[in-house]
Amino acid sequence: MTQEMVDKIKNNPKYQKLVSSRSSFAWTLTIIMLVVYYAYILLIAFAPEILGAKMGSGMTTVGIPVGIAIIVFSFAMTGIYVKRANGEFDDLLKEVKKEIEGEMK
């Protein structure tokens, strides 16, 4: 990649929009994931009795639905990201590529 092309792409407004919106989206989702997981881990470390509390009169503890929910949540998060990235972001990327190709000709 030539320096000229690097500068062109870097200064392309659509490219800037793509990079900033995708990275803020990715970081937001990452932080949510980290918060959810470490909240769970810290709960295990400092207050295991919360997860060990029985739900109602049976044997099932709070920790069981919480654990299963984290698994389902993780999958849902990947779905949310892939949907937006493979749709909106990839469309934007296509436009960026088209503009750059036009400029380089």
- Measured from the CB atom, the residue of 30 and 103 that comes closer to other proteins is 30
- Shortest reach from residue 102's CB to other proteins, in Å: 14
Structure tokens at 18: 């793509």
Q: Measured between alpha carbons, how far is 55 from 17 in angstroms, rounded to an integer?
A: 48
- In the complex, the residues that contact other proteins under the rule CB under 8 A are 1, 3, 6, 9-10, 15, 18-19, 22, 26-27, 29-30, 33-34, 36-38, 40-42, 44-46, 48-49, 51-52, 54, 58-61, 63-64, 67-68, 70-72, 74-75, 77-79, 81-82, 85-86, 90, 93, 96-97, 100
**Distance between CA 74 and CA 77 in Å, rounded?**
5
Q: How near is the Cβ of 3 to other proteins at its closest, in Å?
A: 8
CB count in 10 Å sphere of residue 16: 13
Q: Are the C-beta atoms of 62 and 50 separated by less than 8 Å?
A: yes
Q: Using CA atoms in the order 60, 66, 72, 74, what is the torsion angle rounded to 10 degrees?
A: -150
Residue 68 or 103: the one with the smaller Cβ distance to other proteins is 68
**How far, rounded to the nearest angstrom, does the alpha carbon of residue 25 sit from its chain's CA centroid?**
6
For the bound state, the minimum distance from the C-beta of residue 6 to other proteins, rounded and expressed in Å, comes to: 5
CB of 5 to other proteins, least distance (A): 8
